[in-house]
Structure 1
Amino acid sequence: MQKRHALRDDQWERICEALPGKDTDPGRTSKDNRLFIEAVMWIAKTGAPWRDLPPEYGKWSNVHKRFMRWAKNGVWQMIFNTLAVDADTEWLMIDSTIVRAHQHAAGAKGGQQCQALGRSRGGFGTKIHALSDALGNPMRFILTGGEKSDFLQACPLLEEQRAEAVLADKGYDAGYIVDAIQAMGAEAVIPPKLNRNTPRNYDVFLYKERNVIERMFGKMKHFRGIATRYSKTAVSFLAFVQLAAISLWLK
């Protein structure tokens, strides 16, 4: 019987060749890569402390050290990028979501700002800024403190991207963002703010497709380690976000 959080064979086959520890990598072994990823998936989906990792996944401290090593070395990002090359970029969407931080998330070195933590009207938390493709598949993430404005991360999310249109809510209605989208050769499908001096038209019908990025965030928050931030460092939390994104790509 397959474990609840285990990878299916077809999912494993899509990522196994991209992982470190292949036969061509000297001094490494990949024989337990699948079990390791399933262990981290268990932590991300349950939101449980590392010490509660079931013993069949191995010693929790070893799994945690390896998770952090992969996070710092960009391995989770690399796996995510490997899957995201299949993105449907006919049009792109940008949006953000707030994740409330547990009290255990505080206290890491460098202070709150260095760890993408901050206080907004909703409380203490992290904001996940995301870029998705036309089907609602994640393509890029940026973390900031919860109090940071959405529009400040729009251009970094769209950097080096190409599309026919970019969809976003009216919170992104700023002249320099619209100009950046048009410089991409794309149409800015962004409702104008009510206080805009010069009215601007947008494709009302195409804008209705923007709900797919909201559904993407909803699916990611099925991971309890994403719905509530328990990670002390931005590096570890971003790795969990990337792991959730990998899961969405694998489906």
Structure 2
Amino acid sequence: MRRYELKDADWARLAPLLPGKVEDAGRSAADNRLFVNAVLWIARSGAPWRDLPERFGPWHSVYRRFRRWAQQGVWQRVFEAVQDPDLDWAMLDSTSVRAHQHAAGQKKATPPAEALGRSRGGFTSKLHAVVDALGNPLRLALTPGQQADCTVAADLLAGLAVSAVLADKAYDTNAVVAHISQAGAAVVVPSKRSRRTPRELDRNLYADRNKVERFFNRLKQYRRLATRHDKTAASFLAFAQCAATFVWLL
């Protein structure tokens, strides 16, 4: 077993979720395992596509297939399919990812369309996540680095049936608090100093929020996500979805 490659047990869980099976319409994909191992190698090593080892085949063919799956939502569907969440409560947070100079220069779209922006950390993207009570990822979103965390909270939490939502002060807005309350969940979010009447906070439960931070630490073990090299938001988010899938599997 080479480094960065899926074990037999993990592949057995993943294989039925991928397109190109014999019973699927269209061309079969007998090399799905080789292809997924190639994507995993790129994600973990952080290397450019051109440096993909020859054992995986022509780098450009692998890259084009990865892009095609990203644009067709395959990585998103696989990420959702592997989940077996503990929905006692959910935790919400974001992390900033510094963009490499190679991420700039996309000519067909303005930087906001590719989730790139200027923040105090420089030229960045912001990756948002909701995790379950065990710290496993449920949903991901990508925005420019300067965009406030609270702006995507409602979309990330939509339809989640949990007893409580844990988040830091960045999510203490009237809109987010109302959305959580209307969903029937407890609001475990510290009140900002500007609130005239601070909410009571279950500090024992709030201490569990470290699990979302630990998830981001695991995610950034994939070097392709520690620094953004991808020009397009679709490719970078697809790598995040791949890594989140592997968090469930590995």
TM-score by structure 1 length? 0.98
- 1:192-226: CA deviation from partner (whole Å, max 9, x where unpaired): 11121112112111000000000000000001100
Task: Give the AA of the match of 1:180.
Answer: H
Q: Matched residues in 1 for 2:184 and 2:78: separation?
A: 29
Distance 1:78 1:151 in 2: 25
Matched residues in 2 for 1:233 and 1:187: separation?
37
The answer for the alignment partner of 1:83 in structure 2 is 82
Report the alpha carbon displacement of residue 240 of structure 1 after superposing the two structures with TM: 0.3
One-letter code aligned to 1:92? A
Partner of 1:97: 95
5+ long unaligned stretches in structure 2: none
2:226 partner amino acid: A
The offset of 1:24, in angstroms, is: 1.0
In the alignment, the residues of structure 2 paired with residue 105 and residue 177 of structure 1 have an alpha-carbon distance, to the nearest angstrom, of 32
Please report how far the alpha carbon of residue 177 of structure 1 lies from its aligned counterpart in structure 2 after TM superposition. 1.0
- SS of the residue 1:125 aligns to: strand
Matched, 1:45 2:44: yes
SS of match in other structure, 2:124? strand
Give the superposition deviation at 1:81. Answer: 0.6
How high is the sequence identity, in percent, across the aligned residues?
53
Which residue type is aligned with residue 87 of structure 1? P
Q: What is the CA-CA distance between 1:27 and the residue it aligns to?
A: 2.9
User: Which residue of the partner structure matches residue 214 of structure 2?
Assistant: 215
With normalisation by structure 2, the TM-score equals 0.98
Aligned residues: 249
Between the aligned partners of 1:250 and 1:54, the Cα distance in structure 2 is 24
CA distance in 2, matches of 1:4, 1:181: 42
Q: How far does residue 15 in structure 1 lie from its aligned partner after superposition?
A: 1.2
Aligned-residue CA RMSD in angstroms? 0.8
Deviation at 1:33, TM superposition (A): 0.2
Quote how far apart the aligned CAs of 1:140 are: 0.6
1:141 match: secondary structure:
strand
User: Mapping of 1:17-166 within 5 angstroms?
Assistant: 17-84=16-83, 86-108=84-106, 109-166=108-165
